[in-house]
Amino acid sequence: MSDDDDGVLPLPSLMEAWRPPTGGKRSLRGGTLRIRSDGKRRGGSNAAPALSAAQARAKLERIVRKAPEVMVKISGKQRGARHLAEHFGYLSRHGKLEIRSSEGEIITDEKRLKAIAADWDMLDQAMNAHGKDRPTSMSMVLSMPGGTTDAATIHDAAQAFARVEFEGQFSYMVALHTDTAHPHVHLTVATQGADGTRFNPRKADLHHWRESFAHELRQRGIAAEATPRRARGHVQKRVRSPAHHLEARTAGQGRVLDLDRLIEERAQAFARSQNPERRVEDVLALGRQKQIRGAYADAAAALAATGKAVDRALAQDIAGFVADMPAAVSRRLERAREIMIADRAEGSAGSRSRDTNRDVADGQTPIPIERKVRDRDR
């Protein structure tokens, strides 16, 4: 991208479209790339400048050409030395797999893992002046969709990510697992920092970590992105793992938490209400999607107007990307619309059936529609 192209893309609207739907500040330091809609630095070490025109164009290309999205999620918390040692045993498959520490030590010995668990717990207890019940460590999983990268690359990228984000502040352990459909890395971080800081990530930290991990993968030649779902046109929220786990637990206790049934009940109430009202979140989601899709449309128009073949190709990709976006409705509204359509069809069929029944009651033989049309044409 040349300097002459710097003003082509509508950067403010694209930055806003890509902004993560999280409020508040990050609670942890460190980092690489972050997106700001205004380009200003805020929050000291937590801040970062907005993307340059070249970086924004590269990100736009990755998004509309559907580069694989990274996953970074909190998978659990460990409390006390015993629980943490059991977790390390799971990560190492009880000594069969290597675990790499933040100090660079490669460990398979379970006794050594138990000793590290005891050290982390001892530091946490020493800094816990009020005896609060709090986790000793927090575990995360880092991964990519199956078939998008090899195990060695994702392992190397995860270790680089951990060094950038946590080295010198929090101890951590890294383990690669390749026994599932796609390789993934388990990263366990001590919640008590050497400088007294507590490891207590917020939503903003999680989004930043996705960006940071995607950056490390791109540094190793892997196309990877970390955009919010809404920036890709998704309004419907995913059913997260805790919800599935809660459903399984309640089922085991003889109770039922049927998420599908809950959505169905809400959709029925909306569809058959005399004065259906959209929820505030539905209205906001529609407004956000209008802004996001408008930003992509403006970018496509600006690129197409340059007359350059490479810009026209990207403009066409953007148009196809927007055309493929799902409808901007929640699951509840989508199901309510299906119910309304079915009710109208049933009502129309019922009306035709009532007309036929009246003809029969009057001693008349129902006349086929095709014959009625022929008679009218005569």
Note down pLDDT in tens along the chain; length 378 residues: 454 555 789 999 999 999 887 655 566 655 434 443 343 333 334 444 468 899 999 999 999 999 999 999 999 999 999 999 999 999 999 999 999 999 999 999 999 999 999 999 999 999 987 778 899 999 999 999 988 899 999 999 999 999 999 999 999 999 999 988 889 999 999 999 988 899 999 888 999 999 999 999 999 999 999 999 889 987 655 555 454 444 445 455 555 456 677 667 666 666 666 666 655 556 677 788 889 999 999 999 999 999 999 999 999 999 999 999 877 666 666 666 677 778 777 777 666 565 555 554 555 544 443 444 344 444
pLDDT for position 277: 61
Q: Is residue 253 part of a domain?
A: no
Handedness of CA 215, 139, 117, 85 (dihedral sign): negative
Predicted local confidence at residue 267, as pLDDT: 62
pLDDT for position 326: 79
Domain with 285, as residue range(s), is 278-329
Query: Is residue 142 in some structural domain?
Result: no
Q: Is residue 38 part of a domain?
A: no
Residue 300 maps to a domain: yes
Q: Would you state the pLDDT for residue 253? A: 53
* Distances in whole angstroms, Cα of residue 224 to Cα of each of 64, 137, 148, 173: 12, 28, 9, 24
Per-residue pLDDT at 42: 35
pTM of the predicted model as reported, rounded to 2 decimal places: 0.74
Domain-located, residue 311: yes
Q: Is residue 16 situated within a structural domain?
A: no
Classify residue 243 as left (phi > 0), alpha (psi -120 to 50) or beta: alpha
Q: Long-range contacts of range 363-371, CB-CB < 8 Å, 24 or more positions apart?
A: none
The pLDDT score that the predictor gives to residue 327 is 74
How would you write the chain as a 3-class SS string?
Answer: CCHHHCCCCCHHHHHHHHCCCCCCCCCCCCCCCCCCCCCCCCCHHHCCCCCCHHHHHHHHHHHHCCCCECEEEEEEEECHHHHHHHHHHHHCCCCCCCEEECCCCEECCHHHHHHHHHHHHHHHHHCCCCCCCCCCEEEEEEECCCCCCCHHHHHHHHHHHHHHHHCCCCCEEEEEECCCCCCEEEEEEECECCCCCECCCCHHHHHHHHHHHHHHHHHCCCCCECCCHHHHCCCCCCCCHHHHHHHHHHHHCCCCCCHHHHHHHHHHHHHCCCCCCCCHHHHHHHHHHHHHHHHHHHHHHHHHCCCCHHHHHHHHHHHHHHHCCCCCCCHHHHHHHHHHHHHHHHHHHHHHHHHHHHHHHCCCCCCCHHHHHHHHHC
Instruction: Identify the burial level of 208 via C-beta atoms within 10 angstroms of its C-beta, where 0-12 means exposed, 13-18 middle and 19 or more buried.
Output: buried
**Residue in the block written with tokens 């010995």:** 109
Domain count, the chain: 1
Decide the pairing of beta strands 184-190 and 137-143. Answer: antiparallel
In a domain, 313, yes or no: yes
In a domain, 61, yes or no: no
State residue 38's pLDDT score: 40
